[in-house]
Amino acid sequence: KDTDLTRRRVLLKLSGEVFGGGKLGVDPDTVRAVAKQIAATVGEVEVAIVVGGGNFFRGAELSQSGMDRSRADYMGMLGTVMNCLALQDFLEQAGVETRVQSAITMGQVAEAYIPRRAIRHLEKGRVVIFGAGAGLPYFSTDTVAAQRALEVHADEVLMAKSGVDGVYTADPNKDPEATRLETLTYDDALRQDIRVMDQTAMTMCKDNDLNMVVFGMEGEGNVTRAIRGEKIGTVVSN
Ligand code: UDP
């Protein structure tokens, strides 16, 4: 039996910085390490992943240097697909069955985004990696993380952050008094303009009562712990 209705299902958002290790392009060692952490949870938890692309291009930045915004955004979306393929490769090396689904059709490298098929893959224990964002300019992969989580009925969104291990009362790099919050409401995050994800994404989570966990990538085994639902980072909810 490959369908377990009681199994936890999560949507993990990995931003581009996770892939680049802080640099342009893909850092294989970093991706391999993340893949191993995800692999440790397979069979236990159903994992869908939305991949960012900031390690290649961000449309808003390219448009500042004179490119048409939509075209630049398409470049950004194509960048996310390269990250998907890198992650897929290292996951398969770790023995995990995966499927990449792209919101921009490119049959040679990925399946098309077909939500019901994605759910079926998850039920079978495959890791589903969503690429090319929403396929729409002017969107962010954070917003797509919220949307895909809702569409595949994930229990929560896990936002992996680099350089910070949750949401703080103030910027921990500037204010030594800053403390990490265990919980935060969407109302407070929106009112105080706390950018754990962009506002569109946060509003979507709030309106649909989808909980989010903001956690740091750096701690040993943190990705595994977040996927398993261990208490980690900051929980954002209504
Ligand atoms: N993008 C887009 N539509 C989407 C998702 C992404 O146009 O639905 C483009 C946008 O230009 C964005 C880039 O892809 O800057 C990379 O995604 P994002 O900035 O969200 O990646 P992250 O910050 O997570 O690395």
Alpha-carbon distance of 14 to 123, in angstroms, equals 21
Who wins on pLDDT, 100 or 176?
Answer: 100
Reduced to 3 states (helix: H, G, I; strand: E, B; else coil), residue 235 is strand
Reduced to 3 states (helix: H, G, I; strand: E, B; else coil), residue 111 is strand
pLDDT tens across 138-168, in order?
Answer: 999 999 999 999 999 999 999 998 888 999 9
Mean pLDDT across the chain, nearest whole number? 94
* Distance in Å, CA 191 to ligand 1 centroid: 24
- Ligand 1 pocket check for 102: Cβ under 6 Å: no
Reduced to 3 states (helix: H, G, I; strand: E, B; else coil), residue 103 is coil
Q: For the chain, first and last CA: distance in Å?
A: 36
Query: Which pLDDT does position 1 carry in this prediction?
Result: 43
> Which residue type is seen at 238?
N
- Ligand 1 pocket check for 75: Cβ under 6 Å: no
Tokens of 121: 């893959």
Mean pLDDT of the region 181-194: 93
Which of these, 124, 117, 133, 127, lies nearest to 78 by C-alpha position? 133
Find tokens 């060692």 and name the residue. Answer: 29
- Ligand 1 pocket check for 98: Cβ under 6 Å: no
Mean pLDDT of the region 8-33: 92
Q: Which of ligand 1's atoms lies nearest the C-alpha of 142?
A: 20
Q: Are 27 and 172 in contact (CB under 8 A)?
A: no
Residue located nearest, by CA, to atom 3 of ligand 1: 139
* Distance in Å, CA 114 to ligand 1 centroid: 20
Model pTM score: 0.96
Query: Which pLDDT does position 3 carry in this prediction?
Result: 64
Which of these, 45, 116, 57, 59, lies nearest to 82 by C-alpha position? 57
* Distance in Å, CA 80 to ligand 1 centroid: 8
Alpha-carbon distance of 137 to 69, in angstroms, equals 8
* Domains and their CATH numbers in the chain: 9-237 (3.40.1160.10)
Query: Which pLDDT does position 118 carry in this prediction?
Result: 98
Asked if residue 4 has pLDDT above 90, the reply is: no
Mean pLDDT of the region 22-47: 94
Mean pLDDT of the region 163-190: 90
Sign of CA pseudo-dihedral 98, 104, 105, 108? negative
Asked if residue 34 has pLDDT above 90, the reply is: yes
Query: Which pLDDT does position 97 carry in this prediction?
Result: 98
Bridge partners (DSSP) listed for residue 49:
12, 129
